[in-house]
Structure 1
Amino acid sequence: MSIGRTDIADFSYFLAIARHGSFRRAALELGVSPSALSHSLRGLETRLGVRLLNRTNRSVTLTAAGEELRDAIAEPFSRIDQARDALNRFRDTPMGRIRLNVASDAAILLLAPVMPVFMDRYPDVEVDIVASNRLVDVVGSGFDAGIRYGGTVPEDMIAQRLSGDIRWMVAGAPAYFERFGMPEEPASLKDHRCLGVRLGDDRIYRWEFEGPDGEFDIAVPSMVTVDDSRSMLTMALGGGGLMFGPEPVLRPHLADGSLKAALDSWATTGPGFQIYYPSRRQLPTGLRLLINLIRELDPLGC
């Protein structure tokens, strides 16, 4: 059986569904509707004469035939993507699409300041950003790269620093300190209302400090636990409790007095943001240009 243009398009759709295990998420990556994907896969299965997917209301899994097809065509399609991206060096204006999975803080602190400049310089490069603190398999989920704090980057990835180290602080609203007082040392936090931090792997974060004997961490009492700095910041500004967060997020509110630092002499410093991607994948031109621009503009000033 000869392979036509329709088959090639449907193969790419099939690979996206296989990566995500979901028509909805694959459709988001490809910029098409889930119904269009479903129609495409039904047509492909009809032409091939085999069922490629097991579909239920809750999940999409590959049949044995689907697994064999995925293994056979994944590498050739990857090489096609690499070859297409390599052609950018012959163009006056780079083009293409990059997908990033980034920590929420990175979206605000690193990407938001540089994207207006990036769009002006490279109008033909489309950037799809998913901001989430939940750790995901960037390769299996169809992303070109991820951006996380350095201490959370998977060890099997190539990583590049995008910022210097970041200072982590405790802060609260003046109204909070008027009501509950200022903690004198980290151990005093047991008597305060603290906003808990849920990490991307569902662990509850132990607040970290540095004292005369070195670094240490403590579990703090938390009536409320969230996984996003913006939510914590809103609660802290309203006097709802003490938050533990990166100094760049807190800086403007410390400057205007809407937040006050606590335990400042105990503050610690941790690894800054890193971008990471699989070693076996050629770096897309658009991603390389974005990395260079972040370093050029240095939005965190470090």
Structure 2
Amino acid sequence: MQFRRSDFADLSYFLEIARHRNFRRAGLELGLSASALSHALRGLEERLGVRLFNRTSRSVTLTAAGEALHAAIQEPFAQIGQSLDIVNRFRDAPMGRVRLNVPNDAADHLVAPVLPTFVERYPDVELEVSVSNRLIDVIEAGYDAGIRYGGTVPEDMIAQRLSADIRWIVIASAAYLKRFGAPQHPDDLVAHRCIRIRIGDESLYRWEFERSEEHLAIAVPGSLTVDDGRLGVAAALEGAGLMYVADTMVREHLASGRLKTVLDDWAPIGGGYHIYYSSRRQVPAALRLFIDLVREMAPLGL
């Protein structure tokens, strides 16, 4: 069949739908409504004479023909995108779009401090930051990269350090410590009110401690559970209980005396924040600019 100009756009729409398995999310990525995307796909299917997706109210899956088409055109379209990105390096003002998935702690203390400089320095680059603590497949979800603590990055990804290592501490307000006292050993936590943490895989985090050769992971008790560190810190400030946090989250409160640390000799050091992206793709120039700026400004050290 003869290739038409509109086919190029429709095939790019097809690839986005295949990546997201969802018309609404693909439409958000492309700046189109789900109905417009569905109409374009129907037109492509009619011209090709085959159905590319099985569509129900709950799922969107590739047909055998869709799988074959996806396998045939995914790499050529990726190469076209990489070629355009190479050309972009010759512009006086870099442009492009970057979508990042970032946990809330990193959003507050690592990403937010560099944003004003980034938009001032690169006004033609579109930077979209999605803040979520849920563990997702960032590539499958349509992001260019994600940020996580070192040691939690998927093995099939390329990772770059964005911060210094992080110390994990237990904090509480002076009022809480005056009322309940301070634990002297991690085992003492079973007799305390602890603000528990639900992490990205929906499990409850076991507080980890180290001293010399001893390593402990404590399933702490507590009636309050949060999946947002900011909420937990706010509760700790009001005396709700002990909380296990990265020291980067509470440095100002520690300096002001509003929060105190306990079990200091048990505080472990963990890997700092890392940005990660697919090893199967060339790094977009706009993403490279963001990484370089975070490393240049180093709001959490490096």
The secondary structure found in structure 1 opposite 2:182 is: coil
Q: TM-score, normalised by structure 1?
A: 0.94
Q: Structure 1 residue 193 and structure 2 residue 193: aligned?
A: yes
Counterpart amino acid of residue 146 in structure 1: G
In structure 2, the partner of 1:67 is 67
Which residue number in structure 1 is paired with residue 32 of structure 2?
Answer: 32
Structure-1 residue corresponding to 2:231: 231
Q: Give, in whole Å, the separation in 1 of the partners of 2:133 and 2:188.
A: 29
Judged with a 3 Å threshold, the aligned counterparts in structure 2 of structure 1 residues 212 and 24 are, in CA distance, closer, same or farther, namely same
Structure 1 residue 299 displacement after superposition: 0.4
CA RMSD of aligned residues (A): 1.6
Deviations 1:41-87 (A, max 9, x none): 22222222222112222221111221111111111111111011111
Q: Name the CA distance, whole Å, in 2 between partners of 1:163 and 1:280.
A: 24
Q: 2:162 matched to which residue of 1?
A: 162
* Structure 1 counterpart of 2:275, one-letter code: I
Match of 1:219 in 2: 219
What is the CA distance between 1:187 and its match in structure 2?
0.9
Amino acid of the residue matched to residue 91 of structure 1?
R
Most deviating of 101-110 and 188-197: 101-110
User: 1:276 — aligned with what?
Assistant: 276
Tell me by how many angstroms 1:152 deviates.
0.4
1:123-173 CA-to-partner distances (Å, cap 9, x unmatched) read 111112122222222222222111110110011111111111001111122
Aligned to 1:266: 266
**Using the alignment, how far apart are the partners of 1:57 and 1:24 within structure 2?**
12
- Greater shift, 32-41 or 81-90, is seen at 32-41
Alignment-derived partner of residue 178 in structure 1 = 178
Q: 1:301 to 1:18 in 2, by over 3 A?
A: same
What is the CA-CA distance between 1:25 and the residue it aligns to? 1.7
The aligned length equals 302
In the alignment, structure 1 segments of 5+ residues that lack a partner are: none
- TM-score normalized with structure 2 length: 0.94
Q: What are the residue-to-residue correspondences of 1:109-128 with 2, within 5 Å?
A: 109-128=109-128
Q: Determine the C-alpha separation between the residues in 1 that align with 2:91 and 2:246.
A: 40
Secondary structure of the residue that 2:2 maps to in structure 1? coil
2:88 maps to amino acid = N
1:10 offset after TM fit, Å?
A: 1.5
Using the aligned pairs only, state the percent identity.
Answer: 62
**Is 1:85 the counterpart of 2:85 in the alignment?**
yes
For 1:140, the aligned partner's letter is: E
